[in-house]
Amino acid sequence: MSDIRLQAVDVCKTFGIVKAVQHVSIDFHKGEVHGLIGENGSGKSTLMQMLTGIYTIGSGKFILDGKEIHVKNQVEANNEGISIIVQELGTLSGLTVAENIFLGHEDRFVKFGIKNTNAMIKEANDLLKKYGFERINAADMIDRYNFEDRKLIEIVKSTYFSPKVVVIDETTTALSQEGREELYKHMERIRNEGNTVIFISHDLPEVLDKCDRVSVLRDGVYIDTVNADDVNEDDLKKLMVGRELGEHYYREDYGEKISDEVVLSVKNVTVPGVIYDVSFDLHKGEILGFGGLSECGMHEVGKAVFGASYDREGSVKLADGTEINSIPVAIKHSIAYASKDRDNESIVINQSIGDNICLPSLDELGGSTHLLSDRKLKAFADKHAKEMKVKMVDTDQFVSELSGGNKQKVVLARWIGKDSDIIVLDSPTRGIDVKVKADIYALMDEMRKGGKSIIMISEEIMELIGMCDRIIIMKDGKNSGEELLRSPGLTENDLIAKMV
């Protein structure tokens, strides 16, 4: 009997032109906690989501206990003995705790077509008790519990049936120390039962401490698998980052003085339920970063600056005292915004590249007569699309046909065309491949040098460290305290420590 529990064999997955996972083969053993690390976008989550049926598998196969498995969704994955605790919220609002725990397995409690709710709640309560979470009542609506408790419930949900493989995808960042200890305890239990835990985390010390072996992915490619005892943090980092990301990826300067000139000042901005009492100044020619967990409110900061928040209190003012209270006013006063929700908020998806580039600049293009000429519009669109090297047939092509990276280039082209001075970029490299990423970083550096001010909101810690002059970390909708200044010594952990 071999000790291999699960094999990924030559697994690939592409999204449009982005190769998310390329020919990855990894063996996972019985009775081990197997770490899976890599930068954001390295393909680890995609790989695990294929394993658990969230995504369909591109090509290649997964072999569990010597048998190839084909799962189409999480319930089928559970039936094969595979479960996942996802990065985001993995429980469904509007259902009770018990219903969440037994989601997809309700048949166990059904007799003659009628669901025995009491039996379900009783069993769920027994499970919660067994896990030591007595304070959670299975009959309650899950909405009553906070993010952390819901994560604990998810632990119960994905492990109570003693699955052979449990995937834990970047869950620890969302948990307090107490919650983490609970999670570690159950990871250990699963391992001791002879089953396998696949543990995805950005926290390298944690990975080294808790895992037996660690596999590294980079840009969708499998790099290596090492024994946790044989390596240190730096070794892992080297494997993760590789050589490609060395020079000319992020900006390289350090110690440049930030201008004293304030171009935008945000005072006591509150958006009820999202951000509270946020204040900061944006200086000329700097890149100001915002980081935090996904629910920390940092995305709303970008919207607030752009005049796009509902019910905003407090003030957003330019240097000359102009108040920014609506999107048209923001655009008129040279503020640009690229949303995290690119397809809905950044570009008009069912329009041509040309129309998209011209849209915010129609007033300028109309000139004093306010009349638009097709020729002038086309020349304007062509110029800026070419400048951004958008991969396209021509500017009449619809943006819906472009890849994520090229869409983002169109977004940037329209604001460069508008010649905005303050640029708010929310998750500018989300879902974008390495090459376009590098282009975007280079462009940001160029804009900064040209005296433009940039607010960069990002969930990718590395790009914040690599690109920003100052970084503000948000937590629970508030500024978490002192800002972090650009320095070569700044590490991921410095930021994470402030996030959680």
Partner 1 sequence: MANTDAIKNDEVLAAEEKALKRAVMASRIRAVLPIIGLVAVSLIFNVLSDGKLLAPMNIKLLMSQVYVTMIAATGVFFIMTMGGLDFSQGSILGIASIVFCFLSKYNIPLAIVGGVAAGACIGAINGFFYVKRKVKSFVVTICTMFLFRGVIEFATTNAPVQGDIVKTMALDNNVLKMSITLLVLLTAFFFFRFTKFGRYLKAIGAGEKAAAFSGIETDKMKFLVYVLAGAITGLAAFINVVKVGSVTASSGNQLETQIMIALVLGGMPISGGAKVKFENVVVGSLLYIILNSGLVTLGLTPAMQQLIEGVVFLVVVAITSDRNSVQIVK
Told to check if 332 binds partner 1 by CB under 8 A, we report: yes
Told to check if 325 binds partner 1 by CB under 8 A, we report: no
Site for partner 1 in 287-306 (CB under 8 A): 306
Structural tokens at position 130: 């067994």
Site for partner 1 in 97-136 (CB under 8 A): none
Q: Which candidate, 434, 24, 14, places its Cα nearest to that of 198?
A: 24
Interface mask (CB under 8 A) for partner 1, residues 387-426, using x and -? ------x----x-xx------------x------------
Told to check if 17 binds partner 1 by CB under 8 A, we report: no
Told to check if 435 binds partner 1 by CB under 8 A, we report: no
Structural tokens at position 149: 């408790």
* Residue 397: exposure state from Cβ atoms within 10 A (0-12, 13-18, ≥19): middle
d(CA 141, CA 98) in angstroms, rounded, equals: 9
Structural tokens at position 165: 């493989």
Residue from 174, 358, 423, 473 binding partner 1 (CB under 8 A): 358
Strands of 313-318's sheet, edge to edge? Answer: 275-283, 262-271, 313-318
Residue from 130, 344, 446, 476 binding partner 1 (CB under 8 A): 344
For residue 332, the minimal CB distance to partner 1 (Å) is: 7
d(CA 381, CA 418) in angstroms, rounded, equals: 11
Residue from 175, 347, 353, 425 binding partner 1 (CB under 8 A): 347
What residues contact residue 187 under an 8 Å CB cut-off, 6+ apart?
Answer: 33, 166, 168, 197, 199, 210
* Residue 227: exposure state from Cβ atoms within 10 A (0-12, 13-18, ≥19): exposed
Residue from 4, 95, 226, 327 binding partner 1 (CB under 8 A): 327
> For strand 287-291 and strand 114-115, is the pairing parallel, antiparallel, or unpaired?
unpaired
CA quadruple 275, 280, 281, 287: dihedral positive or negative? negative
Instruction: Give whichever of 348 and 496 is closer to partner 1, judged by the CB atom.
Output: 348
Told to check if 54 binds partner 1 by CB under 8 A, we report: no
For residue 255, the minimal CB distance to partner 1 (Å) is: 36
For residue 404, the minimal CB distance to partner 1 (Å) is: 9
Told to check if 379 binds partner 1 by CB under 8 A, we report: no
Q: Is 183 helix (H, G, I), strand (E, B) or coil?
A: helix
Told to check if 362 binds partner 1 by CB under 8 A, we report: yes
Angle formed by the axes of helices 374-387 and 404-418, nearest 10° = 120
**Which one of 163-171, 286-294, 369-377, 419-427 is the stretch in contact with partner 1 (CB under 8 A)?**
369-377
Told to check if 337 binds partner 1 by CB under 8 A, we report: yes
CB 304 within 8 A of CB 310: no
Residue from 42, 346, 395, 453 binding partner 1 (CB under 8 A): 346
Told to check if 1 binds partner 1 by CB under 8 A, we report: no
Number of residues that bind partner 1 (CB under 8 A): 36
Told to check if 331 binds partner 1 by CB under 8 A, we report: yes
d(CA 52, CA 71) in angstroms, rounded, equals: 7
Instruction: Give whichever of 202 and 407 is closer to partner 1, judged by the CB atom.
Output: 407
Structural tokens at position 265: 């000042």
Told to check if 72 binds partner 1 by CB under 8 A, we report: no
Q: Is 423 helix (H, G, I), strand (E, B) or coil?
A: strand
Note the residues at the interface with partner 1 (CB under 8 A).
Answer: 306, 308, 326-328, 330-332, 337, 339, 343-352, 355, 358-360, 362-363, 366, 370-373, 393, 398, 400-401, 414
